[in-house]
Amino acid sequence: MKSGRPLRSEMKKTPPLVTAKANNLRLDRQLCFPLYAASRLITRLYQPLLEPLGLTYPQYVVLLILWEDAPCSVSHIGERALLNSNTLTPLLKRMEDLNYIRRTRSVTDERVVEISLSKAGTLLKGRCACIPESLNAAISYSPEKAVALKRSLDELISKLQALPETLARNA
Amino acid sequence: MKSGRPLRSEMKKTPPLVTAKANNLRLDRQLCFPLYAASRLITRLYQPLLEPLGLTYPQYVVLLILWEDAPCSVSHIGERALLNSNTLTPLLKRMEDLNYIRRTRSVTDERVVEISLSKAGTLLKGRCACIPESLNAAISYSPEKAVALKRSLDELISKLQALPETLARNA
DNA sequence: TGCGATTCTATCGCGTGCGATATACGCAGG
DNA sequence: CCTGCGTATATCGCACGCGATAGAATCGCA
Chain C, protein-covered positions (CB within 7 A): 7-13, 15-21, 24-27
CA dihedral B115, B121, B125, B131 (to 10 degrees): -100
What is the pLDDT, as a whole number, of residue A14? 53
The answer, yes or no, to whether residue A16 has pLDDT greater than 60, is: no
Q: What are A92-102's pLDDT values in tens digits? A: 999 999 999 99
CB less than 7 Å from strand C: which protein residues?
A: A 43, 56-59, 82-87, 90-91, 94, 108-111; B 36, 40, 43-44, 47, 73-75, 78, 84-86, 88-90, 92, 103, 109, 111-113
Asked if residue B43 lies in contact with residue B57, where contact means CB atoms within 8 angstroms, the answer is: yes
What mean pLDDT, rounded, does chain B reach? 87
User: Smallest CA–CA separation between A92 and chain B, in Å?
Assistant: 17
Contact A157, B136 (CB under 8 A): no
Looking at residue B163, its pLDDT comes to 80
A93 touches chain B (CB under 8 A): no
Which residues of chain B does A33 touch, with a Cβ-Cβ cutoff of 8 Å?
61, 64
Whether A170 shows a pLDDT value over 50: the answer reads no
What pLDDT is stored for residue A7 in this prediction? 43
Q: What is the pLDDT of residue A163?
A: 81
Looking at per-residue pLDDT, the higher value among B138 and B4 belongs to B138
Residue A47 confidence (pLDDT) above 60: yes
A16 vs A123: CA distance, rounded Å: 62
Min mean pLDDT across B5-9, B22-26, B104-108 is at B5-9
CB A105 within 8 Å of CB A112: yes
3-state class (DSSP) for residue A101:
strand
pLDDT at B107: 95
- pLDDT reading at A4 higher than 60: no
The residue with greater pLDDT, B12 or B132, is: B132
Among the partner residues B29, B68, B160, nearest to A42 by beta-carbon distance? B160
Q: Looking at the partner chain, which of B34, B61, B167 has a beta carbon nearest the beta carbon of A48?
A: B167
| CA A12 to C1' D11, whole Å | 54
Nucleotide nearest to A95 (CA to C1'): C15
A149 touches chain B (CB under 8 A): yes
**Please, which pLDDT band fits residue A166 given cuts at 50, 70 and 90?**
very low
A43 touches chain B (CB under 8 A): yes
Q: Is the pLDDT of residue A19 over 70?
A: no
**By three-state DSSP, how is residue A66 classified?**
helix
CATH, range A53-149: 1.10.10.10
Show Cβ contacts of residue A9 under 8 Å, excluding neighbours closer than 6 positions.
none
d(CA B62, CA B91): 9
Closest by Cβ to A157, choosing from B34, B68, B157? B34
When the pLDDT of each residue in chain A is averaged and rounded to a whole number, the result is 87
Q: How confident is the model at residue B56 (pLDDT cuts 50, 70, 90)?
A: very high
pLDDT over threshold 90, residue B20? no
Question: Is A140 or A39 the better-scoring residue by pLDDT?
Answer: A39
Residue A86 has pLDDT above 70, yes or no: yes
pLDDT at A136 over 80: yes
For chain A, what are the domain ranges? Answer: 53-149
Q: What is the band of B169 on the pLDDT scale with cuts at 50, 70, 90?
A: very low
Distance in angstroms, CA of A87 to C1' of D12? Answer: 12
- When pLDDT is cut at 50, 70 and 90, the band that residue A104 belongs to is very high
The more confidently predicted of residues B119 and A17 is B119
Is the confidence at residue B41, as pLDDT, over 70? yes
Phi/psi at A21 (5° precision): -65, -45
Residue B110 pLDDT greater than 90, yes or no: yes
Classify domain B54-126 by CATH number.
1.10.10.10
